[in-house]
Amino acid sequence: MSQDTVVDLLAELVAFDTTSHRSNLTLIAFIEDYLARYGVASRRVPDASGEKANLYATIGPADRPGVMLSGHTDTVPVTGQDWRFDPFRLSIEGERLFGRGTADMKGFLAVVLAAVPALVDAELAVPVHLAFSHDEEVGCVGVRTLLADLAHQPVLPAACLVGEPTSMRPATAHKGKLAARLHVRGKACHSGMAPRGVNAIHVAARLIDWVEETAAAKASHGPFDERFAVPHTTLQVGTIQGGAALNIVPQDCRLDIEIRNVPEDDPGALLDALMAVAATLEAEMRETAPEASIRLERLGDYPGLSMADDHALVDFIMTLLDDRDLARIGYGTEGGLFQRELGIPTLVCGPGSMDQGHQPDEFVTRDQLARCEAFLARLAATLAGPEAHRLAEGEFPRPAPA
């Protein structure tokens, strides 16, 4: 494939404003048309609103397991960011290609699409699957309908590669995340009569104390996983809102809580422990105000990814790359869902760095795109080679010569 083709495709993809609050259907239609030009059929898996969709396609024989290349089509907003460039127009300065999503993760999508003609011509012995999702940036929401769809297919992929930006170094693990909102309902009264009311902010502060104490306990006692820069589960309160005026005992308070857990920890159990504290506080509140309450609203969650560093998939992918360093990532991906829901061995590996993702003047370098191109070319050669049948037998083929 030509890097000019990759750059041209990246320019097309960046021009679609697929910020998560917008529809991604125009981009999906573009990819559908592009794939169709090379005789590749694809199918949409829409969300309930019909305003967004995942896209799934298979290149090569569909009756046997293959390798899935997975990426999300949505991006984070540019609101409030100071960009030198139009974020939705690809700009190039030397080695750097600027635009929203260039690193996270339209650069990967562009390389994958540029590889399609070669994949079609390669006479693959086992398939390459393309899985493009929506609403990853708001909690890995959109891919779940695709997972449900794939669960009913007769043949699942043998392996998955999520192309999030890792500087083309495979990552075997990331933390899971659980986000929840607590609505504390107290009883308002004049602040001069404060004991007759129930101060919702004060109650919320006691819940915050629990979060802080539990976070400190995790930092001291673990469990620990040294694969992460912060090797333990973290808890924090990210936002809090409450009160109407200084001379009114606040009736309502709302706080948003986030748990990012190492694979050995159970975020559900931590949330249950928090709600046990909330139940005790609620009982105390109702001694003064029977209508008082603490209500839980789950905002979203996704599981962590945990693959052994010596898994056969790791070795297979490493031999297709030009170095053998593993990445350690601190952000979440859809990889844990593919692993947990479908049992598909999954790694994260893609061009660019999350140091640039989500930032103003986001960029990916030509070198990173070239490394991804070389990786996909060698993957295609391997899946068309004499060892490819081993993938259908639950093993990984020996890579084709470089």
Render pLDDT for 43-92 as a digit per residue (tens, 0 to 9).
999 999 999 999 999 999 999 999 999 999 999 999 999 999 999 999 99
Q: Check whether 342 has a pLDDT greater than 70.
A: yes
pLDDT computed for residue 104 by the predictor: 96
- 25 with 135, same domain: the answer is yes
Let me know if residue 195 belongs to a domain: yes
- Choosing from 243, 273, 302, the residue where a domain stops is 302
d(CA 24, CA 18): 5
- 20 with 168, same domain: the answer is yes
Let me know if residue 245 belongs to a domain: yes
Mean pLDDT of 305-317: 93
Q: Write out pLDDT tens, residues 138-194.
A: 999 999 999 999 999 999 999 999 999 999 999 999 999 999 999 999 999 999 999
- Rg of the chain over Cα atoms, rounded to whole angstroms, equals 24
Model confidence at 1, pLDDT cuts 50, 70, 90, reads: low
Task: Indicate if the alpha-carbon torsion angle 14, 17, 22, 23 is positive or negative.
Answer: negative
Q: What is the pTM of this model?
A: 0.90
- 242 with 139, same domain: the answer is no
Tokens of 327: 């990445």
d(CA 12, CA 32): 14
Q: Check whether 8 has a pLDDT greater than 60.
A: yes
Let me know if residue 398 belongs to a domain: no
Q: Check whether 401 has a pLDDT greater than 80.
A: no
Catalytic annotation, pick one of 32, 74, 137, 164: 74
- 22 with 149, same domain: the answer is yes
- 151 with 54, same domain: the answer is yes
Catalytic annotation, pick one of 32, 104, 135, 136: 136
Is 136 a residue of the active site? yes
Let me know if residue 397 belongs to a domain: no
- What CATH number should be reported for the domain holding residue 348? 3.40.630.10
Q: Check whether 287 has a pLDDT greater than 80.
A: yes
- Residue 176 near residue 303, CB atoms below 8 Å: yes
Mean pLDDT of 298-325: 91
pLDDT computed for residue 393 by the predictor: 81
- Residue 361 near residue 90, CB atoms below 8 Å: no
Share of the chain above pLDDT 90, in %: 91
- 362 with 231, same domain: the answer is no
Cis link prior to 105 (omega < 30° from 0)? yes
Q: Write out pLDDT tens, residues 201-243.
A: 999 999 999 999 999 999 999 999 988 889 999 999 999 999 9
pLDDT computed for residue 229 by the predictor: 85
pLDDT computed for residue 16 by the predictor: 98
pLDDT computed for residue 2 by the predictor: 63
Let me know if residue 119 belongs to a domain: yes
- 168 with 182, same domain: the answer is no
- 294 with 308, same domain: the answer is no
- Choosing from 239, 273, 302, the residue where a domain stops is 302
Share of the chain above pLDDT 70, in %: 99
Q: Which of 54, 267, 227 is nearest to 147 (CA)?
A: 54
d(CA 232, CA 234): 6
- Residue entry with tokens 């297979």: 316
At what angle are helices 366-383 and 3-15 packed, to 10 degrees? Answer: 110
- Choosing from 245, 279, 302, the residue where a domain stops is 302
Q: How far is CA 203 from the centre of its chain?
A: 34
- 228 with 275, same domain: the answer is yes
- What CATH number should be reported for the domain holding residue 298? 3.30.70.360
Q: Write out pLDDT tens, residues 243-272.
A: 999 999 999 999 999 999 998 999 999 999
Model confidence at 136, pLDDT cuts 50, 70, 90, reads: very high
Let me know if residue 219 belongs to a domain: yes
Let me know if residue 401 belongs to a domain: no
- 23 with 55, same domain: the answer is yes
Q: What rounded mean pLDDT belongs to the chain? A: 95
pLDDT computed for residue 149 by the predictor: 96
User: For residues 370 and 393, which has the higher predicted lDDT (pLDDT)?
Assistant: 370
Tokens of 332: 């979440």
pLDDT computed for residue 351 by the predictor: 97
Let me know if residue 350 belongs to a domain: yes
Q: How many domains does the chain have?
A: 2
- 228 with 317, same domain: the answer is no
Residue 257, domain extent? 176-302
- 243 with 204, same domain: the answer is yes
Q: Which of 229, 228, 398, 227 is nearest to 318 (CA)?
A: 398
pLDDT computed for residue 91 by the predictor: 98
Residues across the chain: 402
